[in-house]
Amino acid sequence: MASSKPDIAFIGLGAMGFGMATNLVKQGYKVTGFDVWGPTLERFKAEGGLAATTPAEAVKNKDYCVCMVATAQQAQAVLLDGENAAVPALPQGAAVLLCSTVPCSYVQELEKQLSAVGRGDIQLVDAPVSGGAYRAADGTLSIMAGASDAAIEKSRFLLQEMSDPTKLYIAAGGIGAGSNMKMVHQVLAANQILATSEALGFAAHLGLDLKKAADTVISSQGKSWMFEHRSPRALHPEFQPIASATTIILKDTSIITAEARRAGFPTPMTSTAEQVYFTGVGRGYGPDDDSSLIRLYWEGKGKVGPVAGTAQTDEAKLALVVGLLKGIHLCSAGECIAFAARLGLDLDQVFELCINAAGGSAMLEAVGPEMMSLVKTAGGAAAGSAAGDSLDKVVSELQEAVDEAQRLKAPVFLGSQALNLTRLALAHRPKTAAAATTGVVVKVWG
Amino acid sequence: MASSKPDIAFIGLGAMGFGMATNLVKQGYKVTGFDVWGPTLERFKAEGGLAATTPAEAVKNKDYCVCMVATAQQAQAVLLDGENAAVPALPQGAAVLLCSTVPCSYVQELEKQLSAVGRGDIQLVDAPVSGGAYRAADGTLSIMAGASDAAIEKSRFLLQEMSDPTKLYIAAGGIGAGSNMKMVHQVLAANQILATSEALGFAAHLGLDLKKAADTVISSQGKSWMFEHRSPRALHPEFQPIASATTIILKDTSIITAEARRAGFPTPMTSTAEQVYFTGVGRGYGPDDDSSLIRLYWEGKGKVGPVAGTAQTDEAKLALVVGLLKGIHLCSAGECIAFAARLGLDLDQVFELCINAAGGSAMLEAVGPEMMSLVKTAGGAAAGSAAGDSLDKVVSELQEAVDEAQRLKAPVFLGSQALNLTRLALAHRPKTAAAATTGVVVKVWG
């Protein structure tokens, strides 16, 4: 392949797409880019890319087209519906890698549309990515790809160019499976991004030094990849630099809840996060970094009348913050794994993806294996291999945090929801069951 | 009794207490009032009452003391802990009617404290009320009273003076049972007050005329006592007149969730409402009428970028608003009844109380009997007497509303939670069960 690298069309040169496309240029590919935003195309040319003025022009005579636009609506426009759309201009048998995060239902519909317009020859690959702009430019993304075997084989080299060698996940199930894997990963992202703001807002109500609180969390069982990456920006006076706008995680969150509703599946954690994201966007925080939602949590401090908590020492207060996060992460792990099981995904693959990507948390690592075992076992008999803390301990720490937040009149949307979910889970345990292990929470989803 | 009405001490002459005390004056009682707010005492004297400068002075030689302060903390101060507290000054065998809304745990603790200080002779009655200031002054409150038989008999005439003849509920279970009845009623109040703001905020995002939306709701199966009473103030430009401050319903809400946590009982609906109340109080809306929380819901309209719903006609949009409320009311009814069952309350009595008080809703009337039958039946076999709409219909209407709210990026905290709860309930139905009737939602609580 090295001596005759195929030409690539690349549609959508945003924060992620620009990095991905320039990485391909650096790997020696001739890449023709298209974007609606002219200055981006100029920048791309400066990096050695070629520029097209329409999607159709970009894909002409290209056997490979990567599409990295922001939404399903945009994908539909550039591929099929818009003026000078790509699909009619693609050569026979060309591969289209749709790397945007879209609903499974959309990419499956797209596959049907291709057949309906007589382009069933196109080798569509459902290949959403994760990892952020830096890893995009570095060619070390996580990629979750679903497609026919033929399409995967045709495109494997290109997926490999864009991904870390250990982070290319070929999801069984064809078109839609990649998007579903990305979606269940985003259950963790949606909850853990907001949990960062919630925990630090709670720390503010507790009167803690927030930098110290963040450091404590990061070296505790309450840590998550998102907390580590978001907390510095949440504590920046202007929530800078903007790494990911609130509107972006809201978009992914809404995909999760909409697909879940379509499947009749409950997503109490992600739905709670979504409502808070709507509130943030309604306040005008949509373009701001998602870590800036800490504003929704700490704004009441000092405005809710005289309040008094019971935790006196910094140590006790920090333990409450960690307990809040552990409880939230427990339930976001449960929602992720239960949804993955409902969608028929390979749970071991999902787990491996999640712990090595932005959805990772100490709690997921600890309870994930037990949860997977529980959802595989229809009857609900625990595998009995609970790692880490007992459920009693996690619930009691979470309850202490929610109790204290109530005394301080501090909102803890996710923590309160997580506590209720653990209670609902316990209410549905068979009376004859052994003492509950931590992962049992996953059974609340059915 | 008419010829020799006993003297009454009345502690706490706020909005409710003032009306209750002046009503007793009008009924021919000699009432000695105490309040920390001097001008109120002057007003009370002008209405024919007597004024005392301390609780001890008020109760001196009084065989009856009604306490109507705002919180458990205040009750503890005026009865026992404060300077010149009432209890030491009460005659032997006097009756104390605690009418404040307090946690069951507090009034039970108070009973123990009376014994501990050697005043086990006092005939304590746990007698919270409902009905608002107008009915307080009219002597037609709903009263939920729990106490020993002797204390009830001693105080029955006084409870009757303050209540509507059909709305005096003597709760079995002694001290704490009255507060528990009030508390489960407030589950409905907490959710349905906020649901009014949520539904009208959603109507605003839909672009509906809000007065027309309110009128439609009131003549629909989405109606509730709270919606009827709150919606005019929610639509008033300044949310006037202030009938009940946001801090008041937040106090009752926090009693519910705190007592539920103490019992290990999940309250996903009320907890969601509480988090939104915290947000409202944090925004500075605490002293404002609780109907003003509509501001939290409509503020994003026009600020969330171009959005487009699918409902085109006013009729379709109004149906979404009604569907949202029906779903919320279904789940608040479930939470109320499941919690009442957990607390061992007389469900028929709770139901009768609720449908005739501020917690009433068309949905509660329709599904309450089936829900009560289901929680009484351990195995979960439905009574098969589903009234009103099928669960499928309620869920599908609710889902349409939540779908549309998502398209409009409108927050619907309670509606989203209610939808997830119905899904969780369905996930736990035995596979062999017959088609789900509407009340089955109650089974999600265990």
ipTM of the complex: 0.92
Look up residue A224 and give its DSSP letter.
B
Mean pLDDT over residues A237-249, rounded? 92
Same domain for B162 and B228, yes or no, is: no
Domain end point (choices A154, A175, A196)? A175
Judge whether A271 is closer than 8 Å to chain B, CB to CB.
yes
pLDDT band at residue A96 under the 50/70/90 scheme = very high
Residue A135: Cβ within 10 Å count: 23
pLDDT band at residue B388 under the 50/70/90 scheme = low
Q: Does the beta-carbon distance from B261 to A419 stay under 8 Å? A: yes
How do residues B36-59 score in pLDDT, each as one tens digit?
999 999 999 999 999 999 999 999
Q: Does the beta-carbon distance from A278 to B409 stay under 8 Å? A: yes
The token pair at B223 is 């109606």
Q: Does the beta-carbon distance from B416 to A274 stay under 8 Å? A: yes
Same domain for A167 and A210, yes or no, is: no
pLDDT exceeds 60 at position A383? no
Nearest Cα residue to A255 out of B423, B407, B399: B407
Same domain for B171 and B253, yes or no, is: no
Same domain for A110 and A212, yes or no, is: no
A223 is catalytic: no
How do residues A9-45 score in pLDDT, each as one tens digit?
999 999 899 999 999 999 999 999 999 999 999 999 9
**Amino acid (1-letter code) at residue B280:** G
Q: Does the beta-carbon distance from A428 to B406 stay under 8 Å? A: no
d(CA B84, CA B134) in angstroms, rounded, equals: 31
Asked whether residue B192 is domain-assigned, the answer is yes
Same domain for B85 and B154, yes or no, is: yes
pLDDT band at residue B305 under the 50/70/90 scheme = confident
Asked whether residue B162 is domain-assigned, the answer is yes
Chain A positions in Cβ-Cβ contact with residue B341 (cut-off 8 Å): none
Same domain for B318 and B428, yes or no, is: yes
CATH code for the domain in which residue A309 is found: 1.10.1040.10
**Going by C-beta distance under 8 Å and a sequence separation of 6 or more, which residues neighbour residue A89?**
A55, A56, A57, A59, A60
pLDDT of residue A388: 58
Domain end point (choices A157, A175, A193)? A175
Asked whether residue B182 is domain-assigned, the answer is no
d(CA A73, CA A54) in angstroms, rounded, equals: 17
Q: Please list the active-site residues of B.
A: 182
Asked whether residue B427 is domain-assigned, the answer is yes
Q: What does R_g of chain B's alpha carbons equal in angstroms?
A: 23
Please work out, in degrees rounded to the nearest 5, the angle formed at the alpha carbon of residue A127 by the alpha carbons of A122 and A132: 145
Phi/psi region, residue A209 (left: phi>0; alpha: psi -120 to 50; beta: rest), is beta
Domain end point (choices B149, B175, B201)? B175
From A420, which residue of chain B is nearest by alpha-carbon distance?
B266
Chain A positions in Cβ-Cβ contact with residue B375 (cut-off 8 Å): none
pLDDT of residue A1: 45
**Amino acid (1-letter code) at residue B425:** A
Same domain for A191 and A125, yes or no, is: no
Same domain for A93 and A29, yes or no, is: yes
| Count of domains observed in chain A | 2
pLDDT of residue B436: 76
Can you give the pTM of this predicted structure?
0.93
pLDDT of residue B1: 46
- Return the percent helix, strand and coil in chain A, to nearest 5: 60, 10, 35
Nearest Cα residue to A341 out of A188, A430, A443: A443
**C-alpha distances in angstroms, A32 versus A44, A49, A71, A122, A134?**
9, 6, 21, 19, 21
CATH code for the domain in which residue B11 is found: 3.40.50.720
How do residues A327-370 score in pLDDT, each as one tens digit?
999 999 999 999 999 999 999 999 999 999 899 999 999 999 99
Judge whether B420 is closer than 8 Å to chain A, CB to CB.
yes
Same domain for B333 and B214, yes or no, is: yes
Same domain for A211 and A67, yes or no, is: no
Beta bridge partners of A123: A95
% of chain A beyond a pLDDT of 70: 96
CA atoms within 13 A on the CB side of A211: 2
**Amino acid (1-letter code) at residue A216:** T
Q: Which domain holds residue B241?
A: 188-445
Nearest Cα residue to B406 out of A275, A120, A219: A275
Asked whether residue B85 is domain-assigned, the answer is yes
Same domain for A159 and A196, yes or no, is: no
Mean pLDDT over residues B308-313, rounded? 95
d(CA A289, CA A308) in angstroms, rounded, equals: 32
Chain B positions in Cβ-Cβ contact with residue A445 (cut-off 8 Å): 424, 427
Same domain for B52 and B116, yes or no, is: yes
